[in-house]
Structure 1
Amino acid sequence: MLPIELTLVVAATRDMGIGRAGTLPWTGLKKEMAYFARVTKRQPPHVCNLLMLFSVAIQFLYIPSKPCALTQDTKAQPPAMNAVIMGRKTWDSIPPRFRPLKGRLNIVISRSHPESGGATEVDPEKEPVKVSSLAQALEYLKRTQPAAGTTATKAFVIGGAQIYSASLTLPEAKRVLLTSVMDDFECDTFFPLRLLSGEHKPEDGDGKKWARRPKGELDAWTGETVPDGVQEENGTRYEFQMWERVD
């Protein structure tokens, strides 16, 4: 079983503001939202290669008159899919027509969900997995991760502030994909880790150090050539960055 790594994805101002009155402080960043969708959907190359080899193997092993057990088991397995983990308020902030976020396993954390939540299988294109804690979300991902590399292959934490805070206390939290918004917006909700390029290895509440990675590493991890430098969209300036824990 591969270890679960958590990647936090967030857009934040220079003061690490991420929200106001339950919604985003800025509007009209369609290219930034498209980047979020691509990155959280894209499978790691090794997973795609494994699935391709697995598919070819099945074609050679399949006998029409006597379906082999491997083929039967494979039909019951869910497709390869990344996970997006969020709190109930973040889930509620997504327009109903866009949820669950397509092409991803949506996991929603709420204290109102029963502790046994996530034990039953769901259709990820129709409904989210409901759990009562971040620990339960990780347990669910570990339990459902098969050796063939199907189901969740990357796990992204997408908000809100309490879920971000809880994630940063865990050793599984390895990186932050930050959209650093260069303009000032009034915010009442903030990301719990201060990430500024001018500061030398900022620390989180547990004293763990974080460092910004060069663009080449960001490109390699996301699987695309990320736009370099400051972008401007609808009058708002921002930059795509990747930070990793270095302790």
Structure 2
Amino acid sequence: MTVSKTPVIAIVAALLPDMGIGFQGTLPWRLSKEMKYFKQVTSTTVDSNKRNAVIMGRKTWESIPKRFRPLPNRLNVVISRSFTDNLVFEQIDEEKSFYKINSIQTAVKELNINHPDVERIYIIGGGEIYNASFDFVDYWLITKLQVLQTEEHSMIPTMDTFLNKAKLIQGFKQEDKLALSQFLPSGVELPDANEDNEKGYHFEYTLYSEIKN
């Protein structure tokens, strides 16, 4: 049996110029526009009969308040080296469940084979998971953030976790805005350029695609 390859996309917000993505296991910002974009992208499908999967590390899973996990309307997969190399179904209650597995590679393989209802697979963190994903992802959706120098906001947040910028540049190319809009399902809203600011940050939504050898 030939298994069609489900697209794998990493989605992350990163602070320029060093591609900072976190501090002490948390996000240094809480931006409602970026969170709305993340939810729309990872929840929306082209085929209404399908759903997306989200893959995250155990620490990212545990950082989500219990009342919000698993992330709704998405198949949630949690990665930990202590788990087995098969997708294990975990029931939280009558309505909530998720899957456990030991690596990104095995997660992607299992989803391709056993979950044909999954339209896209999204990698959603944290830092170790992102930087282990370069060999498995087809695309990166990166919200590039810049601190606006204003009277109210000028502080650069402290970061200790970074996206591997060299690997991104070596393996992926940034697409133009038209390609981004065509890539995203129609239900995803991209704000106008002059609305891409919040809480002292400027946003730029970008798409990177794998460079084919």
TM-score range, shorter chain: 0.7 to 0.9
- 1:53-107: per-residue Cα shift (whole Å, max 9, x none)? xxxxxxxxxxxxxxxxxxxxxxxxxxx2100001011111111111100010000
Structure with the higher fraction of residues in strand conformation: 2
Match of 1:232 in 2: 197
User: SS state of the match for residue 12, structure 1?
Assistant: strand
Alignment partner, residue 169 of structure 2:
202
Deviation of 1:120 (Å) = 4.4
- What letter is aligned with 2:39? A
SS in 2 for 1:34: helix
Task: After TM superposition, list the pairs within 5 Å mapping 1:21-36 onto structure 2.
Answer: 21-27=24-30, 29-36=31-38
| Displacement of 1:142 | 1.5
Unaligned runs of at least 5 residues, structure 1:
52-79, 196-200
Matching of residues 152-171 of structure 1 within 5 Å: 152-170=118-136
Note the C-alpha offset of 1:241: 1.0
Per-residue deviation at 1:187? 0.3
TM-score (norm 2): 0.84
The offset of 1:161, in angstroms, is 1.6
1:43 touches 1:81 (CA, 8 Å); kept in 2? Answer: yes
Task: Report the Cα distance in structure 2 between the residues aligned to 1:239 and 1:115, rounded to whole angstroms.
Answer: 37
Task: Give the structure 1 partner of residue 208 of structure 2.
Answer: 243
Matched-pair contact (CA < 8 Å) for 2:89–2:100: no
Partner residue of 2:173? 211
1:193 aligns with 2:165: yes
What is the CA distance between 1:3 and its match in structure 2?
0.7
Q: What RMSD in Å do the two structures reach over aligned CA positions?
A: 2.2
Contact 2:90 2:100 in 1 (8 A): no
Paired residue type of 2:169: P
Give 1:139 shift: 2.1
1:56 counterpart residue number: none
Compared CA separation, residues 102 and 246, structure 1 to 2 (3 A): same
Q: What does residue 145 of structure 2 align with?
A: 181
What is the rounded CA distance, in whole Å, between the counterparts of 1:91 and 1:119 in structure 2? Answer: 16
How far apart, CA to CA, are the structure 2 residues paired with 1:82 and 1:108? 14
Structure 1 counterpart SS, 2:113:
helix
**Distance in structure 2 (CA, Å) of the matches to 1:113 and 1:202:** 32
Structure-to-structure mapping, 1:12-161, within 5 angstroms? 12-14=14-16, 15-27=18-30, 29-44=31-46, 47-48=47-48, 51=49, 80-116=50-86, 118-120=87-89, 126-146=96-116, 150=117, 152-161=118-127
Is this contact kept in 2: 1:119–1:140, CA < 8 A? no
Consecutive unaligned residues in structure 2, runs of 5 or more: 148-155
- Check whether the contact 2:90–2:97 (CA below 8 A) recurs between aligned residues: no
Deviation digits for residues 154-206 of structure 1, max 9, x if unmatched?
00001112211221023xx11111110112321001112359xxxxx921xxx
Number of equivalences = 197
Provide runs of 4+ in structure 1 moved above 3 Å.
119-125
| Structure 2 SS opposite 1:167 | coil
Alignment match, 2:152: none
Q: Return the TM-score normalized by structure 1.
A: 0.73
Which structure is larger by alpha-carbon Rg, 1 or 2?
Answer: 1
SS of 2:208 mapped into structure 1? strand
Q: Contact (CA 8 Å) 1:18, 1:24: kept in 2 or not?
A: yes
Distance 1:243 1:139 in 2: 22
- Report the secondary structure of 1:18's partner residue: strand
